[in-house]
């Protein structure tokens, strides 16, 4: 389930819950080849039961004819509960997200700002600003969090890359002193993948919108492992370790399915257990 997390909660760091594999599908030989196409992007992330194949949660992205995302929904497929249902309205460099807030893109088309209500159900809630910085190669290297009224960043995430893959993410509390609260190490297989997922392990606020909104270049290889540690006063108080395996790819290199085994990574949204992907192509 996609989690709603307040900035105050994030300052205390996240504790991960462990879910174990119930049953595991294997990649079957003899299946007909699948070709997805060119200029394709993820339009559905579907978490399914490994044994029955029944859908558990669906993360859907709708696109207009120009290939611009126009709606994001996250639905519990069993109970039919709606966690997220936001219309995306594009106006020049701004993407309005329902009544939650808006994204603003920079001159390169990457998101530079996400301003949103901390609690969308409370009209008096404070606004949070997330600001995003990129390197010259087009990869996200820093995210800062602040209450919009103060302009003073309270949190900062920094990202390190090895080649074309995100390999480390560190989130620090900046007030009253700089203190590390979350650290993730990511590893990848040698398998390259086409226009797959953003692998940010700290996307607590943006997980629902990652397939729909441009946050720079994505990692080029298939994610293999994420090891996250949660800190309190410099001491590790919890951890989450997840392995990603049983990839099934189309003949043209798009990921159709994988399995995330181990702990639930709170900051990665729905990428857990058996997950299938569908694509929209222009």
- Domain CATH number, residue 262: 2.40.160.190
Asked if residue 221 belongs to a domain, the reply is: yes
Q: Is residue 13 part of a domain?
A: no
On the question of pLDDT at 112 being above 50, the answer is yes
Pairing, β 140-147 against β 153-162: antiparallel
Q: What per-residue confidence (pLDDT) applies to 213?
A: 97
pLDDT of residue 262: 94
Predicted pLDDT at 31: 63
The closest of 171, 245, 223, 231 to 202, measured between CA atoms, is 171
Q: Is residue 33 part of a domain?
A: no
Give the range with max mean pLDDT: 51-65, 211-225, 268-282: 211-225
Assigned domain for 213 exists: yes
- The DSSP letter of residue 38 is S
pLDDT > 90: percent of the chain? 75
Question: What is the number of domains present in the chain?
Answer: 1
Q: What is the pTM of this model?
A: 0.87
pLDDT given at position 20: 33
pLDDT tens per residue, range 127-183: 999 999 999 999 999 999 999 988 899 999 999 999 999 999 999 999 999 999 999
Name the region of 80 (left: φ>0; alpha: ψ -120 to 50; beta: rest).
left
- Asked if residue 15 is part of any domain, the answer here is no
Residue 66 located in a structural domain: yes
Mean pLDDT over the full length of the chain: 88
In a domain, 21, yes or no: no
Query: What is the rounded CA–CA span in Å between residue 262 and residue 274?
Result: 12
pLDDT digits (tens, 9 = 90+) for 40-90: 999 999 999 887 778 889 999 999 988 999 999 999 988 889 999 999 999
DSSP state of 208: G
pLDDT at 48: 92
How many residues are listed for the chain in this entry?
282
Q: Distances from the Cα of 213 to the Cαs of 154, 207, 217, 225, 245, in angstroms?
A: 24, 10, 12, 24, 26
Between CA 105 and CA 231 the distance in angstroms is 32
Q: Select from 201, 241, 196 the least CA-distant residue to 219.
A: 196
Report if residue 252 sits inside a domain.
yes
CA 156/CA 51 separation, integer angstroms: 40
Distance between first and last Cα of the chain: 30
Domain interval for residue 244: 39-281
In this predicted structure, the answer to whether residue 2 has a pLDDT above a threshold of 80 is no
Here the tokens at position 235 are 């001491």
Residue 242 in 3-state DSSP?
Answer: strand
> Per-residue confidence at 32, pLDDT binned at 50, 70, 90?
low
Whether cis (ω within 30° of 0) applies to the bond prior to 176 is yes
């Amino acid at each position: 389930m996609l989690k709603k997390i307040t900035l105050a909660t994030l300052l205390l760091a996240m504790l991960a819950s462990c879910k174990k594999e119930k049953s595991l599908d294997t990649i079957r030989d003899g299946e007909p080849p699948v070709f997805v196409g060119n200029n394709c992007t993820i339009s559905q992330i579907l978490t399914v039961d490994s044994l029955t194949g029944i859908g558990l949660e669906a993360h859907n992205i709708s696109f207009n004819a120009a290939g611009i995302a126009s709606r994001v929904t996250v639905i519990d497929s069993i109970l039919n509960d709606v966690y997220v249902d936001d219309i995306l309205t594009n106006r020049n460099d701004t993407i309005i997200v329902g009544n939650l807030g808006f994204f603003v893109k920079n001159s390169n088309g990457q998101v530079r700002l996400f301003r949103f209500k901390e609690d969308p159900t409370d009209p008096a809630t404070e606004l949070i600003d997330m600001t995003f910085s990129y390197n010259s190669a087009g990869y996200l290297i820093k995210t800062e969090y602040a209450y919009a009224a103060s302009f003073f960043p309270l949190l900062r995430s920094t990202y390190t890359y090895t080649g074309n893959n995100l390999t480390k993410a560190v989130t620090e509390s900046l007030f009253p002193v700089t203190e590390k609260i979350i650290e993730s190490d990511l590893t990848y297989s040698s398998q390259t993948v086409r226009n797959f997922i953003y692998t940010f392990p700290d996307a607590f606020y943006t997980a629902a919108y990652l397939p729909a909104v441009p946050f720079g270049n994505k990692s080029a290889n298939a994610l293999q492992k994420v090891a996250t540690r949660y800190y309190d006063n410099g001491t590790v108080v919890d951890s989450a370790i997840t392995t990603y395996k049983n990839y099934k790819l189309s003949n043209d290199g798009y990921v159709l399915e994988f399995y995330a085994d181990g702990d639930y990574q709170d900051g990665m949204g729905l990428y857990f257990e058996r997950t299938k992907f569908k694509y929209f192509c222009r």
